[in-house]
Amino acid sequence: MKVGFVGLGKMGLAIAKNLQKAGHELAVYNRTASKAEPLRAQGARVAETPRDAAEGAEVVFTMLADDHALEEVCFGETGILAGLEPRAIHVSASTISVALSERLTEAHTRLGQGYVAAPVFGRPDAAEAKQLWVVAAGTSSEVERCRPLLEAIGRGLSVLGQKPSSANVVKLSGNFLIASMIEALGESFALTRKAGVEPKVFLEVFQSVFARSPIFERYATLVANEQYHPPGFAFPLGLKDIGLVLQAAGNSQVSMPLASLLRDHFVEGLARDLGELDWTALALLAAQRAGLSKA
């Protein structure tokens, strides 16, 4: 298929490489054009604007950090909506707000274009290894047209229904679970460390008794090893996602007190200059509160 791809950060570049390996013809755009060079070397066309990447594409993917970045590449004279042909599909793989997903659904529908929300679960190393889990929502025909692409980037695909924003709700709920898990792991490791138990020993117990999910076990290993850098998922993005969770919860009148606590911990972490670390640094905060770490 002819595929446009906008956003070549750590996740986006890995996903685009897997689409290219699967034999799809790519036109790619990134604000820092040099990040597209590995794809250009393998035959991709480097577009000058998001609109250029979308023109002639059957499907255009976006993988951006937040709502603002996605809005910048979608709307306006040089945006994706201006270049995408009728019936062509925008696949948003970004973790964005439910409100923006609904706005994109309306805008694409108005122009006769398709829109599928397909955020992914997994870190950059999982993206490189094609081990992402994709959650997708949109009209049945559009999701099925995109299925070969979605299956080319991960180990599994869950189709959630006809309403694209449903996938964003699921992604935000999943990230809330991960952040809650990191917080619980951080507090558990801080308690056992302060009692004199080596982290690797408690990790062995965790792996033997509790670990069933690759995601849970991976984060437990990162916490046990105090591996907060380099960031696979940056600490400020954790604050962004938990903020989106609380926004969605407020709109649906759902009380989520743990999410409020997590937001406060992310804010505290940024105040303690943890912004350059991975969001696993929630565990570093727990260690600091326990008097185990000052850095």
Tell me which residues are annotated as active site. 171
Closest C-alpha among 53, 111, 113 to residue 78: 53
Backbone angles phi, psi at 94, to 5 degrees: -75, 155
CA distance 216 to 206: 10
The answer to whether 10 touches 232, Cβ cutoff 8 Å, is yes
Do the bridges between strand 59-62 and strand 2-6 make them parallel or antiparallel, or are there none, so unpaired? parallel
Measured CA angle at 164 (ends 178, 78), to 5 deg: 100
Residues whose CB falls within 8 Å of the CB of residue 77, separated by 6 or more in sequence, listed in order: 51
**DSSP 8-state assignment for residue 43:** T
Closest C-alpha among 231, 228, 222, 262 to residue 245: 262
Measured CA angle at 189 (ends 184, 195), to 5 deg: 130
